[in-house]
Structure 1
Amino acid sequence: MSIPFARTAPQGPAASVLDTVHGRTVPDPYRWLEDGESTATRRWLDARQREFTEAARTWPMRDRLAADITRLLDHDLWSPPLLRGGTAFATRRSPGDEHPRIVALEDALEGGGAHHGGTGGRGKGRHAKGGAAPRSERTVFDPVAADPSGRTTLDAWEPSPDGSLVAVQTSTGGTEHGELHILRTRDGSPVEPPITGVRYSHVAWLPPDLGGPAFFYARRDGADGRRGLWLHRVPVDGAAAAGAPDVLVRACTGPRTVPGVRVLGGRLLLATESHGTGHRNDVWIADLHASPPDAPAWVPVQEGLEAETTADLGPDGVLYLRTTLDAPRRRICAADPAAPAPGNWREVVPEDPDAPLDGFTAAGTPDRPELLVARTRLGVSSLDAHDARDGRRLRAVDLPGEGMVTRLEQGPDGTAHFCYADVATPQGVLLLDPGAARPRPWPSAADGGRPPAPAARIRRRVLRCRSADGTRVPITLLSAPGSDPDEGGPLLLHAYGCFGRPRQFGFSATVLAWLRAGGRYAVAHVRGGGDGGRDWHRRGAGRAKPRAVEDLVAAADALVEGGHADRARLCLTGGSAGGMLVLAAAGLRPDLCAAVISSAPLTDMARFERMGLGRMWTREFGTAADPDDFAALLSYSPYHLALDGAGGRRPAVLLTGFHSDTRTGAAHPRKMCAALQGAGAPALLRYERDVGHGQRAVSRAVALAADAHAFAAERTGLRPRPGGR
């Protein structure tokens, strides 16, 4: 029997706040919880932690789920290699590691991408479990060696063209406010003090024939009040860079834009500026051979258009552009770098009306250039090779199963690398040779590489339901062999439905552990996500965001009415903006399900612009400054639905919050928990310090996942199988 949930929330030190917005009175009785450092908030959090600990102690599935999730993560996890100066760089997380580390593999990619070498150590005197490491492997940077507490994460990295240096970006405690370190490859030692004021910065090294070492990087968090792209010259041999301060080469055009930078083909400097999360950006290039690095002559590729465009330079010297311009599901165009404006674009790979074009890379050789194109249909990727000159489909790439292709990147000598994973197969790196249809694993078996094997067989079924306005919404239902997809047993229903992000079915040890325990898992591909391209996103964004909530409600109802779920055994689950979505659905329809898991959610949509990065998200949700936007925001704001809700049956809710969350902001789950408990709803808050919205140590990720899904098991009746895991 579970420990009863708290029925009333402790009172705060201040009276309830009443705001008047566009003539409407909006109560905010728990605004005092927005101050995360106050004595009252700390006491309140201590009480919530005691409640959670007492309840979690009674959940019988917790230890079994944690053990199975840990087992499923017990494999090598590589990133695609980057070849620089005869050295291949990659990240590797071996079994038992808390974080991935950067490794260097000497002479690791030769002769069309073959990986040579033998067996040997992992670095730091350790050996890889379950497979030997390449003979030449050495660790360049290990976050745990830099910070044994495990609080420091590796956020981004990029090796120099000659492979002698690596730019490494880290952050500590989950805040995502990072530092950019320049390390020597030979021993991982720093060249100079770190650059501060960066957050997930792109780093683009200056080609060596143009001087150096130097690189361009992005400052998003402000530097002397200026945000944009900067050129940094690295001191040589430890000498001070006297008289060489960083140079601003392109300032951001507005306070809510996000800059990016790359160097294409060792020649073209590419600058991008994304406008919040509205899937609109501007793109410029500069020929580094025609203008000095500290004063690039920028040429617009795309400017002021309602489109999102990314670029790559082919081996034939042509600029290839993946764009939503006149193609909501994206197409690929070609342009001469000397005249790259949209009026000069030539369509090469047209839009597919049935599948968004998610990624591409230019591969092949100068005389036989190819475009590798990844598309996604309801979470499952396909990969095709097209002739870069006329767009003809040359062949389909043979993927290991129905899964997800990510990190599609150029390799040496016309090769390409990408990551592949599916629900039952951990992520691995595959290498595709020029002209080949079947990729091969990287690293190779001869070098100690071991391609991840499927952990289980999973059945996938696609259903469709009708939303409130008649729109047909797809639902993917997953189950393990031995469980009946129509039995109405414990079911997790996941949704995200924001920012145009499609749901892709990669590997999740948490989902797989749930399926192996006898549960089932479903995904509602609601509007606001990217499963149907840009139009599908727009139809669930801004003032249309309530449509995404309606889609989720319709999906839950359809699963119940179709005999696939029982309301008493149904749990909604979502994180971040998806956490807002599942809370809104349950707030509008308290009878919808038995439980809700909402991780690091948005909840107070009247004030989301004042917390975390909310000010960047007005294109997705609207703004409280506009009366019509505000009315839409309040119609589904989970916090206000909880404040306005009448008594009676409500689903049990588990909220998770992270004190250092600088994206959504930790005040959201705090206020939501207080509102639910104050209304008599069964709600728990699992709250952590020293972590944020993004990456964390593996052990902490396992603990979070096991707690959340043990809660779901408890509320939906999933019990340990006799003699099972």
Structure 2
Amino acid sequence: MRPAASLIAIAMTLATPAFAQTYPATEKGPVVEDAFGQKVVDPYRWLENDVRTDARVKAWVDAEVATTNAYLETLPGRAAIAARLKQLWNYERVGVPAKRGANYFYTRNSGLQNQSPLYVRTGIGGAERLLIDPNLWAKDGATALAEWVPADDGGKLAYAVQDGGTDWRTVKFLDTATAQPIGEELKWVKFSALSWAHDGSGLYYSRFDEPASGQQFQATNENQKIFFHKLGTPQSADPLIYATPDRPKLGHGAQVTDDGKWLVIITHEGTDPRNEVTLLDLTKPGAKPVTIIKGIENNWSLVGNQGSKFWFVTDRDAPRQRIVMLDAAKPAVAPVTVVAEDKATLEDAGVVGDKLVASYLVDAKTEVRLFGFDGKPAGTVPLPGIGTAGGFGGKIGDPETFFSFTSFNVPTAIYRFDVKTGKATPFATPKVAFDPAAYEVKQQFYASKDGTRIPIFIVHKTGLDLKGGVPTVLYGYGGFNISVTPAFSPSALGWIDMGGVYAVANIRGGGEYGMAWHDGGRLARKQNVFDDFIAAGEYLIAQGITTKGKLAISGRSNGGLLVGAVTNQRPDLFAVALPGVGVMDMLRFDRFTAGRYWVDDYGYPSKEADWKVLRAYSPYHNVKSGVSYPAIMVTTADTDDRVVPGHSFKYAAAIQAADIGDKPHLIRIETRAGHGSGKPTDKQIAEWADLWAFTAKFTGLKVPEGM
């Protein structure tokens, strides 16, 4: 066992201008376990320990940070890339407004603020007034404003504070008129909706029991419960509204209907969009919750209600989803179809004015359709182009709604939609330091290994000469029913500005084509995700867009798993691999924090059939010594309690110990940051400058002078 001081000393000797192809020494432990008749060696199990409480892990992290930083300092163009990214990030970003009473609430970032402040205006043309500036909360900018919800009359606000990137939230309250705190807070809130009682007297929220000391960033999250907090009382007095102690793995979220008469409780077991629905009649004191949709077999997303009649988006008997009406007064009666399933994928729906507003995906691009309450078509919402739209919040009787629109070369703009006239007008459109017309966005399709037709977006500078192949970054996700749609990213545009190509493959596992697309890339079919991504790389090469020596791959979270898995399966295909905050140990992912939720997509490591599938692609367990690998830059953060950093620590140790060629295989570890949300702007710019400088070096992209 090496003492901590020795590890740090090794790191100091490695901090030389040239990378010496030597990594900090990582102790190998004796862990060998028998699983279903197979021996599983896990020499880096000790790196799962929390860096805050384990001195050995802290010393290892310090040594890796020193090694990586020393190498990054040798990369050409890094400062120029950071400067250009700073320019691209420096534009006004406004969030979708929420209207309550006469007040309009929205976030607005002037450009380079680490966190986005929250503003309010009374009336659509009223003067803007600052309510909350989270940039004042921490010197390093790493404490963020997370969820926020105004009361129905707009007079009070509940908001959540996120510190250092953790998923844990502290909920606070303020008076809208004075912007002064009300003076109470709610602790141990995570994965929670925040929903006000109709009269503004208090808030429904979800929380977990307080974790054992020192376990808040690693312990599994079980027994989530719904409480009601009445303003003016301590959290300890909050009455329990709903819990399932006999089924501790279930999670629960609560939403009060717009009329204030019902509490709708959505119960799920994992991340899959399948849930139970329970109603609590708030008009009857002492009423008990009644489950009207039993069994976690289909998606039931609340659209809205009229009295006891509820509209839901569901995939029951409709893989691409439909809108149905269910009468709570007649729960035995089958739901009635209001808007039938379409060839396009129905993603979401809401109620605004006298319309149902339904958002569809058509080949991974947004189309918004309007329907009457009877389901009759009533037109569409005009969008400014091909891209992604979101928002459309509102309720029955509202004359307006707001939505965002973005694409690869179009920063997010906010529009106001008039329900009566059917017209959309700009509410906030950013001024940017580039010309959107200077970039070409195209969508193509390619065949995967089994012949499945997969969409891919390809973005580059207009007129870019592709002869001979261009350094290209291929991005993918492929999981959890999450659709990857066109969206503006300053980091991606930074790569494109350097002269590279940026490609996004809409591989299976996502929700682009409904539940069948999702199911085609999970559990025993997870290999389809990797085959789709590998086929995307082969397609880009076959089209002459890039070459093997110029192709980089990138993905985060489940996408980090994707990058790790395909790098093991086809190390010859890629020049650079950038697995970010990835799930790398597929045999132990369910033992930490939110990992237990992911069994919907990955399966259960405790079940033999699932274990065999997981063992076959787990990035940590399938590193191939004796094979030349691409350059690898692993990224993670010390406060990531979604995908704990132990995943990336163990994977980095494994690739550094293996005989996989002479390219660098490094890990970049951020401090005071988590899985991604709430990450300060300056930390984002610094990270992407490092990643693009690294990628440029090993794809042969020369950073333009004066960039």
TM-score between both structures, scaled by the size of structure 1: 0.88
Which position in structure 2 is the counterpart of 1:501?
482
* Matches of 1:352 and 1:143, distance apart in 2: 43
- Aligned match of 1:688 in 667, 670, 690? 670
* Matches of 1:244 and 1:27, distance apart in 2: 46
Alpha-carbon offset, residue 194 of structure 1: 1.3
Which position in structure 2 is the counterpart of 1:95?
111
CA deviation map 1:50-98 (0-9, x unaligned): 2211221222332233222222222222222222232222222222321
* Matches of 1:572 and 1:155, distance apart in 2: 30
* Matches of 2:17 and 2:455, distance apart in 1: 35
Which position in structure 1 is the counterpart of 2:184?
193
Amino acid at match of 1:246: D
RMSD value over aligned CA atoms?
2.4
- How many residue pairs get aligned? The number is 673
> CA 1:562/1:713 → structure 2, altered by over 3 Å: closer, same or farther?
same
How is 1:42-191 mapped onto 2 (pairs within 5 angstroms)? 42-106=58-122, 108=123, 115-117=124-126, 135=127, 137-191=128-182
* Matches of 1:242 and 1:65, distance apart in 2: 50
Alpha-carbon offset, residue 10 of structure 1: 0.7
Amino acid at match of 1:345: P
The answer as to 2:620 corresponding to 1:639 is yes
* Matches of 1:318 and 1:431, distance apart in 2: 28
Alpha-carbon offset, residue 530 of structure 1: 1.3
The answer as to 2:699 corresponding to 1:720 is no
* Matches of 2:567 and 2:226, distance apart in 1: 44
Secondary structure of the residue that 1:671 maps to in structure 2? helix
Contact 1:660 1:690 in 2 (8 A): yes
Q: Which runs of 5+ in 1 are unaligned?
A: 109-114, 118-134, 236-240, 444-448
The answer as to 2:369 corresponding to 1:384 is yes
* Matches of 2:298 and 2:434, distance apart in 1: 39
Contact 1:300 1:340 in 2 (8 A): no
* Matches of 1:243 and 1:598, distance apart in 2: 40
The answer as to 2:201 corresponding to 1:213 is yes
* Matches of 1:393 and 1:559, distance apart in 2: 40
> CA 1:244/1:499 → structure 2, altered by over 3 Å: closer, same or farther?
closer
* Matches of 1:650 and 1:488, distance apart in 2: 21
Which position in structure 2 is the counterpart of 1:589?
570
The answer as to 2:258 corresponding to 1:258 is no
- Aligned match of 2:230 in 216, 230, 233? 233
* Matches of 1:406 and 1:373, distance apart in 2: 11
- Aligned match of 2:535 in 547, 554, 559? 554
Which position in structure 2 is the counterpart of 1:126?
none
* Matches of 2:577 and 2:131, distance apart in 1: 42
Q: Which runs of 5+ in 2 are unaligned?
A: 1-15, 213-221
The answer as to 2:418 corresponding to 1:429 is no
Which position in structure 1 is the counterpart of 2:26?
11
Which position in structure 1 is the counterpart of 2:4?
none
CA deviation map 1:355-375 (0-9, x unaligned): 2211222122xxxx2111111
Amino acid at match of 1:216: Y
The answer as to 2:424 corresponding to 1:439 is yes
Which position in structure 2 is the counterpart of 1:677?
656
How is 1:607-622 mapped onto 2 (pairs within 5 angstroms)? 607-622=588-603
Alpha-carbon offset, residue 595 of structure 1: 0.6
* Matches of 1:485 and 1:317, distance apart in 2: 60
* Matches of 2:562 and 2:224, distance apart in 1: 32
Secondary structure of the residue that 1:591 maps to in structure 2? helix
Contact 2:278 2:289 in 1 (8 A): yes
Alpha-carbon offset, residue 335 of structure 1: 3.1
* Matches of 1:270 and 1:248, distance apart in 2: 15
Amino acid at match of 1:278: D
> CA 1:7/1:142 → structure 2, altered by over 3 Å: closer, same or farther?
same
How is 1:353-392 mapped onto 2 (pairs within 5 angstroms)? 353=343, 355-364=344-353, 369-389=354-374, 391-392=375-376
Secondary structure of the residue that 1:190 maps to in structure 2? strand
After superposing on structure 2, the runs of 4+ consecutive aligned residues of structure 1 that deviate more than 6 Å are 451-454
Alpha-carbon offset, residue 102 of structure 1: 1.8
How is 1:198-597 mapped onto 2 (pairs within 5 angstroms)? 198-208=189-199, 213-220=201-208, 227-235=224-232, 241=233, 245-252=237-244, 254-265=247-258, 266-289=260-283, 291-292=284-285, 295-313=286-304, 318-339=309-330, 343-353=333-343, 355-364=344-353, 369-389=354-374, 391-410=375-394, 413-442=398-427, 455-457=435-437, 458-484=439-465, 487-597=468-578
* Matches of 2:369 and 2:348, distance apart in 1: 11
* Matches of 1:380 and 1:596, distance apart in 2: 27
Which position in structure 2 is the counterpart of 1:128?
none
Alpha-carbon offset, residue 101 of structure 1: 1.7
Secondary structure of the residue that 2:419 maps to in structure 1? coil
Moved more, 312-321 or 322-331: 312-321
Amino acid at match of 1:702: I
Alpha-carbon offset, residue 297 of structure 1: 3.8
CA deviation map 1:271-301 (0-9, x unaligned): 1112211221111223322x12xx4443434
Alpha-carbon offset, residue 515 of structure 1: 1.3
Moved more, 143-152 or 454-463: 454-463
Alpha-carbon offset, residue 419 of structure 1: 1.3
Moved more, 168-177 or 433-442: 433-442
Amino acid at match of 1:336: D
Contact 1:424 1:454 in 2 (8 A): no
The answer as to 2:636 corresponding to 1:663 is no
Contact 2:93 2:430 in 1 (8 A): no
Amino acid at match of 2:634: L
Alpha-carbon offset, residue 305 of structure 1: 4.6
CA deviation map 1:679-713 (0-9, x unaligned): 13430110012111032111111111221122111
Moved more, 62-71 or 176-185: 62-71
Contact 2:91 2:431 in 1 (8 A): no
Contact 1:164 1:186 in 2 (8 A): yes
Alpha-carbon offset, residue 534 of structure 1: 0.7
* Matches of 1:376 and 1:573, distance apart in 2: 24
TM-score between both structures, scaled by the size of structure 2: 0.90
Alpha-carbon offset, residue 612 of structure 1: 3.6
Alpha-carbon offset, residue 654 of structure 1: 0.4
Alpha-carbon offset, residue 314 of structure 1: 5.3
CA deviation map 1:291-336 (0-9, x unaligned): 12xx444343422151111112257985221111111111111233
Contact 2:410 2:488 in 1 (8 A): yes
